[in-house]
Structures are given as structure tokens and as C-alpha cells.
A and B are shown apart, each in its own frame.
Chain A
Amino acid sequence: MERNVFSFILKYSYRQQIVLVLLAVVNMPFTMLGYTLVEKIVNEGIQGFRKVPEQVTQADGSVIEKSVKTSIEFPEAVFDIGPEFDQVIFLFVLVGLFLLNILLLQGIKYALNVYRGVTAERMLRRLRYALFQRILRFPKPTFKKTSQGEVISMVTGEVEPLGGFVGECFSLPVMQGGIMLMSLGYMLIADWKLALAAVALYPLQFYIIPKLQKRVNLLGKERVKRVRKLSEKIGETVTGIGEIHSHDTSNLELSTFSERLNGIYYIRLQIYIWKFIIKFVNNFIQQLGPVMFYSIGGYLVIKGELDLGTLFAAISAHKEIGAPWKELLGYYQRQADARIKYEQVVEQFAPAGLFEEERLMSEPESPVRFEGEIKASGVTLTDDQNNSILDSISFTLGLDQRVALVGGGGSGRDELAEVMARLLDPDRGTVNYGEHVLQNLPEAVTGRRISFVDNAPFIFNLTLGDNLFYGLKHRPLKEATYEGDRKKERDSYITEALASGNLEYDLGADWIDYGAAGVEDSVGLRRAGIDALKVVGLDEDVYQFGLRGRIDPEKRSDIAEGVLKVRRALDERLSDPSLAVLIERFDPAAYNSNASLAENLLFGTPVGDTFDLDHLAEHPFILEVLEKVGMTEQMVSMGYQAAATMVELFSDLPPDHELFQQFSFVSSDDLPELQGLLAQYTKDQLATMKPGERLTLMSLPFKLVQARHRLGIIDDDVKVKVLEARKAFADNLPEDLTGSVAFFDPDHYNAAANIQDNILFGKIAYGQAQAQERVGSLMREVMAELGIIETVSEVGLEFEVGIGGSRLTGAQRQKLALARAVVKRPDVLILTEATAALDTSSQARILDGLLTDFEGRSIIWGVHRPAMAERFDHVLVMKGGRIVESGSFEELSKEGTALSQLIAAEAA
């Protein structure tokens, strides 16, 4: 990357810079024309005279040239071209020209600014892209020294002002310098002495300002460093939030942060102060000009050696030059700032051992497969403190062998695995896969033929399926087709991307390498994905995700229909009385005693917050419906009863008692309020209550589930009324609320409910032993019969796993990473302690599954328990960075071997 911001700008935008400079140059004559026109308007147009140079013989006999005011005889031609006009028309023609000139000048400025913006933004995009690409090219050890926070702050914040500078880098000095030179030239022609007087002090500024600026530059550098440290601290806090809370170190963290802010504060303050010192000095010198004019010029006028008009002209010219001069000084400061920032960023992005770009980008001419033997010769690795990690390791293995790497901490086992996966480059020695030398291969080969999983794999913030198939997306394979406006958009995307040196690949295209997964299309791929999940034992979890997943029945009508089939098939099963008690299904004509009163009234799934089940009583339409079926008073009285029971049951329990949390449908905070209401009103005084109090009571019965709470409040009369209300609600629902509830309909899929609820179409009954499990297996049975279990799992693939896979458990993340490594069907699977964090039965299942799946392919598994090695074709035992034993498990498990010692140590 270019070391200097100017060479970076020139290299990638010299064409744009030429255009910008040209525009700035074109701008100048029009600016000058503007001055001329103004003078002409005032002198000739309004006052009707012009200055004509004349030879004047002075008293001492010498002849000098002097401009003399001469009246104009109108009519006169403007600029001596074209027809002649009398004075008024003459004036208007001049003003018209002036107006045209303004338009033209501002037009050029507009074009200049827009073009500047485009250039600046493209260069910023290019710079950020280049930096990000460099992050991808960092060798792995670099990340030990580079914090995430720092890198983010560099790529996002720090380079931002550089964009603005790119736009003005050359054009601004040309333009402002040009304007200044021209004004100066104009003055020189008019009166060279005064012109020189006006700029007499500029050399002083030239000398002093850079000296001062140097200080600001140094401070600026320091500020950038400190802000990076600040970002690092923020990043660290976010990552380590658990530790901070578990050790009560918030104060320590806040103080550390405050200390860093303090440092930044003082530096910023100093920068601020120095900037204003520069401004002060600058303005002071600038103002010295008029002082000299008034004193020396004034003196000369008094002496009669200078006429007053000339003095004024000089003062105004000085002002005229002042504006561009100021701009130039500002530019000088900005370029200093930009130069520092650029250098500081680029420095950080050029670590030793940066990958060649080809390693990431180049594509082999024909697909490569690893066949034959794995051969390591003299692989040596040392860490940054020169400790030996791997000590000239050599071995030969078949690419059809499943190999266990056994070794304790510090044996070099994990590092060897990483070298084999090309995540670390050895200092010396080579690794060959068949005829290929690992170190010469691009990632297009290593990343496809090798899978690597360690014990802390990363899961991306995507769906579960996107994570599973992540290793199949190397580049767009099937272009998406666009038409009309979409095509135009896509075309301009490509043009812009190329103009900024970015990759123009289409994210909307199909990136999946189906061939690599051994399938034809997306249907086959999902099957293959589920097979891979089975190998690692994640299939059941994904099935459960699927059950709790929602689908759009319009888009996935096949799934919706399948689910409805299961719903109907379940009906037949439920004719068996022993199963019938498990589920109470939704019946439009019956009250569901296992559902709350609110659910019974709504008889649908709320969409959004409008009909939130917890706050149903507050909705005016619900109140309207209750009023309509004449249930309002009854609800208040039911609320009174429920409140009385709750107060009776819970009032002498401490508020934090777990029974409260588990069973009460009134929170402990609300209990005193209810107690107050009960004390204030008797059962017969309900009508005299305030509306707010009535609402408080009314909200209680909505939460009652008859089968669960058994308070005897919901009797047959209430049920009939609720059914009436259910009908009234559905029939009279205002149009603007229709989208707020998805009604239960036996014949339709409910898009707002998840798949399980759609299948059940009812409530699991309270009070039946193991109802949840029995219903679960019943559903699974019916789905298996109808063959839609896989379909449900496919919906499970749509599960959003959250940032870093946070919505998955640790075990699920680990299994997902293993499945991701399996689904791309690599020639070599390299694992380090990849199942260490799982429970023993999962470990056994995965070991079994992977060894079977990779029969005839290569596995290199850094096992966390030496005894696991028994199942492998070959065992390598490592100690102190060397391979101490190599052979089959039978050979190595004899008495006295290192392996048997390790196994014994583990058992002890």
C-alpha cells in the first residue's frame, strides 16, 4: 500500500484530479471577468467615465504614465463590440453580463463540488476496502497484537476525514492559489508598490505557521493513538462483560475509561489551543497589513505623494487576497492532518508476513483433490519469543487414514494441527498433500479440501442453515438475472464497485457450490445438510427449532399443507380416549378450558402489540365487545373474586417467595393495591368504583386458565358469554385492526403461530402426567407417518442464531461447526479438541459418526483424551514439539510407551 497519502491519491485518482484541477483553472478567468465587470459597472455604467492612460510631463521634466479619468460620450459599445447603447441600456447590458457570469461561475463551482464529492467517496470506499482486505490477509499471529476495537476504529472513524481531503487535495490549492495570484497580479498592474506592501508580511507567515503546525501534528498523532486505545477498551469491555459483572469491577473499568478520556481531553484541548494560537498569529499578521497602510499610506497621502483612492484600492485589494490566503492556510492544516492519519493507519495494516493477494483471490484452473499421502518434512515453528513450538517434525500418512494426534498441553499438538490446516505457516519445512505443497496452495484449494474445527469455533450472525452452508460459498456460481430497473441498479453497482477497486460480485447470486456438497440443487443441499447434522447429533435440536419456527404460508405452501395434514391426522389419533385427554383442541363453538379467558375471547394469535394478551382489558375495542354482550359487570365481579382469592392465598407470603413467581397471576407489586380495593369496596359496591379501579379488577379474569387455576370463577354462564364475545369480536373487528389478530381456523394455516401450535391447534392439557413428552412423541409419530419430519427440520435451518451464535448453547455451536466442516466433504478433516466441551454420550456419538463418515478419507484429530485414540487407524504421539511415537494403537498401547503413560495418567 502506498506509504504517502498523496501518492495514494495520485495513483488511484489522477484522472479525476486532472479534471478537478482543470475545472479549478477554468474557474479563474470567470472570477477575473467578474472583477472587471464590477469595475466597469461602477465606473463606466454608473459614473460614465473611464480611466485612460496618458503621458504626463512632470515638473522635473520626466514623463510618466498616469491614468486619467475621461468622460464617456454615450452612446457607446460594450467592450467596444457590437451595437452602441446610451448609458442606461449600457448599464443594464453590463449588469446582464455580470449576472450571466455569476451563473456560469456558480455552475462551474457546483460541478467542481459534485465531482469532488464523487472522487472523495470513491477513494474513501477504496481505502476502506483495501484496509478490510488487508485484515483478511493478516497472518494469524498478528491478531494476538491487534485488538478488534483498534481495527474497527481505524477502518471506520479514522479514515473518514481522508475522504474529504481527497476531493480538495490538488484542486483547492490550484483554485485558491490561482485566485490569490490573480488578485495579486491585478494589483501589481494597478500599483506594484501597494501590491507588494499588501503581501509584504506573507513570508513571515510562511515561516511561522508550519513551525506551529508541527506541534499540532504531533498532538494529532498522539490523539489518534489514544482514541485507538479507547476503542480497544470498549471492545474489551463488551467481550469481557461477564467477568466484569462476576468480579464487581465496574468501578475499575469506569475509572480506566475515565483515565483514558482524561488523556484524550487534555490532548484535544491542547490541539484546540494551538489551533487558535495559529489562528491568532495568522490573523494578527494579516491585520498588520491595514496598520501599515494606514500609517505609511496615510503619511504619504498627507505628504501628497499618494492619492486617497489608490490607498483605498490597496486596502480593499489586501482584503481581497486575504480570503484565498485563509483558505490556503486551512488547507495546509488539513493536509497535515490527512497525511498523519493516513500514515498512522497504513503503518498498522502492514504487518510482517502479510499474505499475498493471490493466496486469497486466485482460483485453480481445474478442481484439485488431495490423493495419495500426507507428508510433513522438517516442520519447525517458533513463537514470537523464539520458543520452539514444533521441532522439525516429519511423518508420512495415507490420505485414507484416520489419525489421532495425542499429546498434552505444550506438546505442539494444536499448533501442528493448525499448520496442517494452513492456519499457521511454519518457519521451516513443508507439508505435502499428495503432489501439492501446502504452502504454495491458494485458499481456493486449502479452504475447500481441508476442514478445520477447534474447541471454540465461531458462528456467524446468520440463520442456522447459512452457517451450516457457510463453507460452500466461495464465489458466485450462478448469476442472478435482473430486468428493467433492477438491472440498471445492478449495472451501476458494478460500475461503482470497479471505480473504487472493490469486488463486484453479486451477493444476490447463488454462491453455493452444490457439487462440493455432492448434490444437484437446493433441495438436495438441505437434505445433505440434515444428514450432516445427524452425523454430529444436532438433528433433534434443529427439528425442535423447526417446530418453534414460523413460516409464510404463501411462500412455503408445501409446508403449510403438510402441517395441516398432520393437524387433521392428529384428529384421528385423538379419538383414542387415552390420548384425547392430552390435548384440548380449539373449537370455534366451544370454550377451551386449558386456555386463558383472553385466548378464548380473541380465539387467535395476536399479531404485534395491539392485542397483547397481558393487556387485553386495556383495549377499547375489547371493552366495547364486552359491553355489547353485557359482560362488563360480570367481568368486574369476577375480577373481585379473583382478587379476593389471590389476597387470601398470597398476602402473608413474602413478596419474593417463589410460589408467587410460579403460581400467582398477580405480581407481588400489585397485591397491596388489590388489598386496598377489597378493603374499600364490598362486593355490592362495584358499580361505585372509579373507572381505573374497575379496569384493574377486570384485567384479572382475562388471565385465568380454568383447568389450571381451578378458582371456580369461570362457570358455564361465563363460558357462554365468552363465546358470544368471541363471535362479536370477530364480526365487528374494525378494518384497521384486522391485521392485528390471526384467528384460529381449523382449515387454515395460522401464519402468526409457530409450526407446533399449528399442528396442535389446541392446548396441552393441565394435570396429565408427562403430557408434554407424550404429545411431543405423538406429533413426531404422525409426522413420521406423513413424511414431513425433514420438512420441519428444514424450517429449523431458518433459525436465527444471533450474534456469535448466542442463541445456541455452547454444545450446539460446537456441533454446528462440526456439521459445517462435514457438509463440504473435504479430503482432510482436522480437529483439535473439537468435542472436549460436550457431554460423554455426545462425544461418543460424534466420534462414531465422524469416523464412519470419513472412512477412506483423512481425519487428523487432536484428541483431548488419549484413550480416544483406540478407534483410529493410526496414532501420532507428541511431546515437547516432537513426534515421539507413531504407529497403530495396538503397537503403541503396550507397556512402557508414551501413549500408555498418557492413558494411565488420564485414568488416574
Chain B
Amino acid sequence: MSLNEEVELLRQIPMFQKVEQSKLKLLAFTSERLTFPAGQTVCEQGEPGDSMYVIVQGDADVIVNLPNGPLTVAQLHKNSFFGEIAILCDIPRTATIKATTELVTLRITKDLFYRLVSEFPQMTIEIMREIAFRLDRTTQDLQQARNDLNKLQGSD
């Protein structure tokens, strides 16, 4: 795939829609395209992380290790991104990501990420939107879980 095709591909990702052409090209040129075979772990919960990933093609599972074993909490598809928490907050990876099909990703290093974020507010907003959306979903899930728990306790 050539650089120009890649730029077109990036443009379809909501997060990068407002980023100007030349910056997108720089992003494509300097970020590593990494292909993971199906079943391979992209990042492991608890390990330090220095980059985020954007899925260019393929699907992946988000897995959280619980005391009674791993639990798949979400699926990621084309155009979604992950790994931003570890580089935003300097904390270890909060979940394990595993490729379910052949997974093509764009790996954006911490430095590049901060540079893009500071230069393109639009991108920051897109990321905030996505994170807020995820928070909303998590809150809903929490609500649901609490209700289920109350029900269970009530039936006792």
C-alpha cells in the first residue's frame, strides 16, 4: 500500500478527519504499520505501554483478567483505536488486546501522539468524544450490573 492510499484510509477514521493532508502524510510515514496474525496478543494487561494503535483492518477482542479468569468485555473493529489510556495517564495497560482476525494496525508512539493532539484540537475532540462514549457505555453497564446485583440480593 502506498503512502497516498494510506492517507486516504486514515482520512476515513473519524479521529483524523480534520487533520490536514500533509500532517496525515507525516503520520502515515512515521507511524509503523504492524500486522498481527489472528490469535496474537497486541498488548498485555499490566505491561507498560508507549504507543496507541489504530485498527486499519481486522477485528480484535478486549480482554480483562479477572480473579476467576479472563473476560472478553468488548470487540474492536476497523477505524477504532486503543491503547490511549496507557500513554495519556502513564499507567500500565488496562486490558489485553488480542487479534481475532488478521489485524493491521497503525502504531502511533507517545511523542507523535502528543504532537498531533497539541497541533490539532479537532483530533483531541474526536478522542474525547470516543472516550466519553466509552464512559457512557461503561456507566450503563455499571448501572445494569448494579440492578442485577440488587435483584439477586432482593431475591435472597
A binding-site residues for B, Cβ under 8 Å:
578, 581, 645, 648-650, 658-659, 662-663, 709-712, 766-769
The residue that B33 contacts in the complex, of A648, A650, A767, with Cβ under 8 A, is: A767
Q: Known: A649-B29, A710-B2. Contact between A769 and B40, CB under 8 A?
A: yes
* CB-based contact B26/A711 at 8 Å: no
Q: Known: A659-B112, A712-B4. Contact between A649 and B37, CB under 8 A?
A: no
Q: Give the chain A neighbours of B29 by CB distance below 8 A.
A: 649, 663, 709-710
Q: Which residues 32-62 in B have Cβ within 8 Å of A in the complex?
A: 32-37, 40, 42
Most chain B beta carbons < 10 A, residue from A578, A658, A663, A710: A710
Q: Give the chain B neighbours of A578 by CB distance below 8 A.
A: 37
Q: Known: A663-B30, A712-B4. Contact between A581 and B35, CB under 8 A?
A: yes
3 closest cross-chain pairs (CB), A and B: A712-B2, A767-B33, A769-B36
Known pairs A659-B26, A710-B2; list 10 more (Cβ under 8 Å).
Answer: A645-B25, A648-B22, A649-B22, A649-B25, A659-B112, A709-B3, A710-B28, A710-B33, A712-B2, A712-B4
* CB-based contact B26/A767 at 8 Å: no
* CB-based contact B25/A648 at 8 Å: yes
* CB-based contact A767/B3 at 8 Å: no
Name which residue of chain B comes closest to A767, CB basis: B33
B111-129 vs A: 1/0 string, CB under 8 Å?
1100000000000000000
What are 27 sample pairs from A and B whose C-beta atoms fall under 8 A apart? Answer: A581-B35, A645-B25, A650-B26, A658-B111, A659-B26, A662-B30, A663-B29, A663-B30, A709-B3, A709-B29, A710-B2, A710-B33, A711-B2, A711-B3, A712-B2, A766-B33, A767-B32, A767-B33, A767-B34, A767-B35, A768-B34, A768-B35, A769-B34, A769-B35, A769-B36, A769-B37, A769-B42
Q: How large is the interface on B (under 10, 10 to 19, 20 to 34, 35 or more residues)?
A: 20 to 34
Q: Is B73 an interface residue (CB 8 A)?
A: no
Q: Give the chain A neighbours of B40 by CB distance below 8 A.
A: 769
Q: Give the chain B neighbours of A659 by CB distance below 8 A.
A: 26, 30, 112
Q: Give the chain A neighbours of B152 by CB distance below 8 A.
A: none
Measured in the bound complex, the distance between the Cα atoms of B6 and A650 in whole Å is 18
Q: Give the chain B neighbours of A710 by CB distance below 8 A.
A: 1-3, 6, 28-29, 33
Q: Give the chain B neighbours of A663 by CB distance below 8 A.
A: 29-30
Q: Give the chain B neighbours of A711 by CB distance below 8 A.
A: 2-3
CB distance from A708 to the nearest CB of B (A): 9
Most chain A beta carbons < 10 A, residue from B29, B36, B37: B29
Measured in the bound complex, the distance between the Cα atoms of B42 and A663 in whole Å is 23
CB distance from A653 to the nearest CB of B (A): 8
* CB-based contact A712/B3 at 8 Å: yes
Measured in the bound complex, the distance between the Cα atoms of B38 and A578 in whole Å is 10
Dominant secondary structure at the B interface: helix
Measured in the bound complex, the distance between the Cα atoms of B148 and A390 in whole Å is 75
Q: Give the chain B neighbours of A649 by CB distance below 8 A.
A: 22, 25-26, 29
Measured in the bound complex, the distance between the Cα atoms of B111 and A201 in whole Å is 91
Measured in the bound complex, the distance between the Cα atoms of B26 and A658 in whole Å is 13
Q: Give the chain A neighbours of B111 by CB distance below 8 A.
A: 658
Q: Give the chain A neighbours of B26 by CB distance below 8 A.
A: 649-650, 659
Measured in the bound complex, the distance between the Cα atoms of B31 and A709 in whole Å is 11
Q: Give the chain A neighbours of B37 by CB distance below 8 A.
A: 578, 769
Name which residue of chain B comes closest to A657, CB basis: B115
Q: Give the chain B neighbours of A766 by CB distance below 8 A.
A: 32-33
Measured in the bound complex, the distance between the Cα atoms of B3 and A711 in whole Å is 5
Q: Give the chain B neighbours of A645 by CB distance below 8 A.
A: 3, 25
Measured in the bound complex, the distance between the Cα atoms of B34 and A769 in whole Å is 5
B6-36 vs A: 1/0 string, CB under 8 Å?
1000000000000000100110111011111
Q: Give the chain A neighbours of B6 by CB distance below 8 A.
A: 710
Name which residue of chain A comes closest to B36, CB basis: A769
Measured in the bound complex, the distance between the Cα atoms of B112 and A662 in whole Å is 12
Measured in the bound complex, the distance between the Cα atoms of B5 and A288 in whole Å is 103
Q: Give the chain A neighbours of B25 by CB distance below 8 A.
A: 645, 648-649
Q: Give the chain A neighbours of B35 by CB distance below 8 A.
A: 581, 767-769
Measured in the bound complex, the distance between the Cα atoms of B1 and A709 in whole Å is 10
CB distance from B65 to the nearest CB of A (A): 21
CB distance from A769 to the nearest CB of B (A): 5
Measured in the bound complex, the distance between the Cα atoms of B25 and A709 in whole Å is 12
CB distance from B30 to the nearest CB of A (A): 5
CB distance from A278 to the nearest CB of B (A): 74
Name which residue of chain B comes closest to A581, CB basis: B35
Measured in the bound complex, the distance between the Cα atoms of B88 and A319 in whole Å is 98
Measured in the bound complex, the distance between the Cα atoms of B5 and A650 in whole Å is 19
CB distance from B80 to the nearest CB of A (A): 18
Q: Give the chain A neighbours of B36 by CB distance below 8 A.
A: 769
Name which residue of chain B comes closest to A714, CB basis: B2
Measured in the bound complex, the distance between the Cα atoms of B148 and A392 in whole Å is 78
Measured in the bound complex, the distance between the Cα atoms of B26 and A659 in whole Å is 9
CB distance from B130 to the nearest CB of A (A): 24
Name which residue of chain B comes closest to A712, CB basis: B2
Name which residue of chain B comes closest to A662, CB basis: B30
Name which residue of chain A comes closest to B26, CB basis: A649
Measured in the bound complex, the distance between the Cα atoms of B110 and A659 in whole Å is 12
Q: Give the chain A neighbours of B42 by CB distance below 8 A.
A: 769
CB distance from A204 to the nearest CB of B (A): 87
